[in-house]
Amino acid sequence: MTNAEPAGANGLDQIFDVLIVGGGLGGLALAVGLGHLPGLNWLLVEAADELRTATGTLIGVGANGLHALECLDPRIVENVKKYAQVGTRAEGHVRPADPAGEPEVNAMPLSQQLHTIRWGATQRVLAELVEPSRVRCGHKCRGYTVDEAAGHVAVHFKDKPDIKARLVIGADGVRSVMRSSMCPSDPGPRFLGYMNWNAVRHVPGSSSAAGSDVIKTIRDSKTDFSIMVYIINAGCDYQFWQVRMTSASPCFTNGGSGGGGVPGSKARVMQRLQQLGWQDIMQEVEATDESAIYERAMWDRLPLPAWSAAGGHVVLLGDAAHAMYSGPGQGARTAFEDAHQMFLAIKQHWPNPAAIAAQYEEARVHRASIIQNYAAGMANLAGLSSDINAFWQQLHPDTPDADGRTERFREFQLWLNSYPEKMHGLPGSKYTSPEALKAFVEHCAAATAQHSASQQHMPSSKISCA
């Protein structure tokens, strides 16, 4: 390691050991870990003028995420638990077309506790454990250039001087500019066929009320649903709601580009709920200030066979590497797993970027691509989801479809939560054995290519911030 001093005020001439691009959940989790490596000269840069705290969303952190965070710094988990609600039960409601009719309810205990916590509270917990002098906001990355002879990378920013580092970690989210620079021919984010509105609002007493441990989903149909609602307590008396509607293409209110407090977004959600006669959900939305409602189109990224370039001097992490459909709730958890594995690789192999990248990719790429494909299978993407279901049916023709899906879901949860053991599969299991998962990933790669024509990707003009 080259230098024990934290980053200087300008630091223009210095070459950092490690530069993290992106101060979201994954980048910050890694930063907390790096704080435990004395002598490593590292810096985190973030595009926004300050680290974001408002996104109107919540994350569910299961055993895999908690384990990764605990290994990075036990204080993260201690603090996350202070702000989180503990979910112990799941309830899936399917409502009939007649709002006066009885819903079909499928209730089951969760195999392991799920800590549900506001995204912003998680971000704050992580940020509070990072030395402020290590963070530079207002740095919007535009790409990078590798100087192979000198063994470092120059990262370019909008209206800011370059910053050089020996290892650059692109943790800049689903629209990653680092990823575009690394893989120019990679298609942009893939539209998942959903528009999404969500908010967290303060409801005094809600975290101690009966049912606050229930993760509740409500749909209008068991299979081909056009609307899905999540109601989840987010801890500290915050209540989370999410309304997700199918949409043939990204369709923002008033032709805008979404975000927080879009004028007309609340009325749009209310109108759809009114059509369905879902009065209870309408009350939830009605009680929320429009400024607290976030509108998004839902995107994922296609799995990449490798996450590093330039001899390991540039590596991707989190959504930049593997953004996925949020249905199974694994986006942040897998970013935490990445941060943990990257921390271990740096600790073990610094100053050898090639060895760091090799160990990190061996631990992460296959596992993440399984989870991404699993999530994509749940997204109801035309063609792809049915192809993925056909794969499972072929592998296990003895399993009736609906039961098979529940059994498969449970087995996947078991495997996911077994992290960091059995990273590539649970030997002897039906759906998640290493052999089944390998065949699954191979099938999904072929199916994704076959159905590519029917899928929409975000134009590169929306990613680049040149």
Ligand X SMILES: Cc1cc2nc3c(=O)[nH]c(=O)nc-3n(C[C@H](O)[C@H](O)[C@H](O)COP(=O)(O)OP(=O)(O)OC[C@H]3O[C@@H](n4cnc5c(N)ncnc54)[C@H](O)[C@@H]3O)c2cc1C
Among 17-25, 124-132, 256-264, 435-443, the segment contacting ligand X (CB under 6 A): 17-25
Task: State in angstroms the smallest separation of the CB of 327 from ligand X.
Answer: 9
Interface with ligand X (CB under 6 A), residue total: 37
> Hey, what long-range contacts does 273-280 have (CB within 8 A, 24 or more apart)?
273/243, 276/95, 276/99, 276/220, 276/227, 277/99, 278/95, 278/99, 278/218, 278/229, 279/99
**CA 389 – CA 378 distance, rounded (Å):** 9
Residue whose CB is less far from ligand X, 189 or 404: 189
Q: Backbone phi, then psi, for 179, in 5-degree steps?
A: -65, -45
Residue type, 96: P
- Nearest residue relative to ligand X (C-beta): 24
Among 54-62, 199-207, 382-390, 416-424, the segment contacting ligand X (CB under 6 A): 54-62
Distances (CA, A) of 15 to 35, 164, 208, 314, 434: 18, 5, 51, 14, 41
Task: State in angstroms the smallest separation of the CB of 266 from ligand X.
Answer: 17
When binding is defined by CB under 6 A, the residue of 41, 57, 217, 448 that contacts ligand X is 57
The helix or strand, by DSSP H or E, that contains position 88, with its residue range, turns out to be strand 85-94
Distances (CA, A) of 255 to 262, 263, 287, 390: 10, 11, 25, 37
Q: Does 86 bind ligand X (CB under 6 A)?
A: no
Q: Backbone phi, then psi, for 300, in 5-degree steps?
A: -135, -175
Residue whose CB is less far from ligand X, 284 or 387: 284
Q: Does 326 bind ligand X (CB under 6 A)?
A: yes
What is the contact mask toward ligand X in residues 372 to 411, using x (rule: CB under 6 A)?
Answer: ----------------------------------------
Among 4-12, 22-30, 101-109, 425-433, the segment contacting ligand X (CB under 6 A): 22-30
Q: Does 333 bind ligand X (CB under 6 A)?
A: yes
Q: Does 196 bind ligand X (CB under 6 A)?
A: yes
Rg of the chain (C-alpha set)? 22
Task: State in angstroms the smallest separation of the CB of 114 from ligand X.
Answer: 9
Among 139-147, 217-225, 275-283, 436-444, the segment contacting ligand X (CB under 6 A): 139-147
When binding is defined by CB under 6 A, the residue of 15, 177, 357, 370 that contacts ligand X is 177
Cβ contact 227:245 at 8 Å = yes
Residue whose CB is less far from ligand X, 163 or 332: 332
Residues 426-465 contacting ligand X, CB under 6 A: 465
Q: How far is CA 351 from the centre of its chain?
A: 29
Q: Does 120 bind ligand X (CB under 6 A)?
A: no
When binding is defined by CB under 6 A, the residue of 7, 19, 20, 21 that contacts ligand X is 21
Among 76-84, 165-173, 233-241, 441-449, the segment contacting ligand X (CB under 6 A): 165-173
When binding is defined by CB under 6 A, the residue of 33, 250, 303, 318 that contacts ligand X is 318
Tell which residue, 371, 304, 342, has the closest CA to residue 33: 342
Residue 377 half-sphere exposure toward CB, CA atoms < 13 A = 23
Tell which residue, 110, 123, 136, 106, has the closest CA to residue 222: 106
Q: Does 173 bind ligand X (CB under 6 A)?
A: yes
Q: Does 332 bind ligand X (CB under 6 A)?
A: yes
What is the contact mask toward ligand X in residues 218 to 257, using x (rule: CB under 6 A)?
Answer: ----------------------------------------
Q: Does 300 bind ligand X (CB under 6 A)?
A: no
**CA 326 – CA 335 distance, rounded (Å):** 13
Task: State in angstroms the smallest separation of the CB of 67 from ligand X.
Answer: 14
Two tokens, residue 428: 């002897």
Distances (CA, A) of 17 to 8, 160, 168, 169: 13, 20, 8, 11
Among 130-138, 246-254, 308-316, 331-339, the segment contacting ligand X (CB under 6 A): 331-339
Q: DSSP for 267-330? A: HHHHHHHHHHT-HHHHHHHHTS-GGG-EEEEEEE----S--EEGGGTEEE-THHHH---STTS-
Q: Does 146 bind ligand X (CB under 6 A)?
A: no
Q: Does 59 bind ligand X (CB under 6 A)?
A: yes
Q: Does 60 bind ligand X (CB under 6 A)?
A: yes
Residue whose CB is less far from ligand X, 173 or 189: 173
- Annotate 387-424 with three-state secondary structure: HHHHHHHHHCCCCCHHHHHHHHHHHHHHHHHCCCCCCC
Residues found near ligand X in the complex (CB under 6 A): 21-27, 45-48, 52, 57, 59-60, 119, 139-141, 171-173, 177, 196, 198, 296, 318-320, 326, 329-333, 335, 465
